[in-house]
Amino acid sequence: MSACRRVVRGEPGWPAPLEHLAMPPAELWVRGALWPPPVTAVAVVGARAATLTGLEVARDLGRELAAAGVLVISGLARGIDAAAHRGALEAGGPTLAVLGCGVDLCYPPGHERLLEAVCGAGAVVSEDPPGTEPVAWRFPRRNRLIAALALGVVVVEAGERSGALSTARHAADLGREVLAVPGSVRSAQSRGTNRLIRDGAIPLLEVDDLAAALPELCLTAPRRGVGTPAAPPGDPALRALLDLVGSDPVHPDQLAEATGAGAAEIAVRLCALELGGWVRSLPGGGVSRVGRR
């Protein structure tokens, strides 16, 4: 385990963006080499109980941002947070985790390897001293640090009461850009993000949306949907079937009924679409589209 160090407000190494907070912390505890963090940073946050599509989008965002040299900030929680960190690590970092407990502890359990990887490629930070146990009220409080340290916050998925929404509120209060990935109106994990968009957040449909919102990041990503395959399948029958598959799970029997094709024929076409990376099989026998339409 790497050593913990204390950074006091006003001393060298204190992140200047934290001074934008109404009540900055008096001190920080840090593990890792990436300190002080660069100002070219984006927070990627969202639901713990994320969908497969949400996890893929968060991982893609983390990977593309880190590959462009942008610091990916999140909270090491299960779901979207962990996916964003992992994407950044796959690109070689950098990434920063802001914790709601001491930096010498791992929360949630099971993220020990992820925590050590984040320390190796970036840093973990907390305003609470080592040994501080995670309790519920510390996590909404740490969300203000995530918002303050980033130029913008991307909410990938969030339910109506998701803690990620508090990060978005802190970001808006601080004058940071808030972006949200839209989702199905039937998805509980997208209710919070869809409402953020209704209330003025920038819809994130492709990486260029982030580049336009935050030109100081100097992103030069190709114009495409986040997590979307480069081109549709060439076979007209496969394209027609793919048009019936969305991000919400659909059963092959429903596709057979909608197209009038036999179950065996649908199975063959779905297999081809899955091998081509356009759809994925889900537990329970359903399928969903990879990426977004």
**Which tens digits make up the pLDDT trace of 177-195?**
999 999 888 889 999 999 9
Residue 274 or 128, more confident: 128
With contact defined as beta carbons under 8 Å apart, do 145 and 22 qualify? no
pTM: 0.77
Return the pLDDT at 291. 62
As a whole number of angstroms, the distance between CA 53 and CA 289 comes to 8
Mean pLDDT, range 157-176, rounded to an integer: 94
Mean pLDDT, range 271-280, rounded to an integer: 77
Sketch the domain layout of the chain as residue ranges: 5-217, 236-289
pLDDT (tens digit per residue) in 17-58: 999 999 999 999 999 988 889 999 999 999 999 988 889 899
CB neighbours (10 Å) of residue 293?
11
CB neighbours (10 Å) of residue 12?
7
Return the pLDDT at 175. 95
Do domains 5-217 and 236-289 share one topology? The answer is: no
At 260, list the tokens: 């009038």
Q: CATH 3.40.50.800: does it fit domain 236-289? A: no
> Between 3.30.460.80, 3.40.50.450, 3.40.50.300, 3.30.70.270, what CATH number should domain 5-217 receive?
3.40.50.450
Report CA-CA distances (Å) from 191 to 170, 209, 253: 19, 21, 28
As a whole number of angstroms, the distance between CA 154 and CA 91 comes to 19
Mean pLDDT, range 71-75, rounded to an integer: 97
